[in-house]
Amino acid sequence: MVRFRFIEKIPPVLRNKYILTLVIFVIWLLLLDSNNLIARYRELKNLRRLRAEKEYYTRRIEEDRSKLQELRTDNRNLEKFAREQYKMKKPDEDLYIVLSPREDRQIKRKHN
């Protein structure tokens, strides 16, 4: 039995069929299965990101609902919002827009 001499060099613990089966099973779970640990880690990371986005959008919806309720109940707030957001003015008024340097650079980049 000269050709099986390499088997004798393997430690007896690894030659045990139960241990060998366990090692193959662990390798299968770690790398080869469709639900392996690497894919599971990626999915958990994606799940955390999606939960953070959900929390952000939930807060934004609540803020927007409160702003909308405020705009619907008071005409002065509606006028203030229209003037600030849409730069609306009365016919006898002049409108001056003051930009920060950062806003000015952003506008110039958009037009170039």
Structure tokens at 93: 């008024």
Residue 111's pLDDT is 80
- Does residue 60 form part of some domain? yes
Domain that includes residue 94, residue range = 34-111
- Does residue 69 form part of some domain? yes
Number of structural domains the chain divides into: 1
- Does residue 46 form part of some domain? yes
| Under-50 pLDDT residues of the chain | none
Residue 20's pLDDT is 86
- Does residue 99 form part of some domain? yes
Are the C-beta atoms of 40 and 33 separated by less than 8 Å? no
- Does residue 13 form part of some domain? no
Summarize pLDDT for 41-59 with one digit per residue, the tens. Answer: 999 999 999 999 999 999 9
CA pseudo-torsion sign 35, 41, 46, 51: positive
- Does residue 12 form part of some domain? no
- pTM (2 d.p.): 0.53
E strand or H helix at 48: helix 37-73
- Does residue 103 form part of some domain? yes
Residue 2's pLDDT is 59
- Does residue 67 form part of some domain? yes
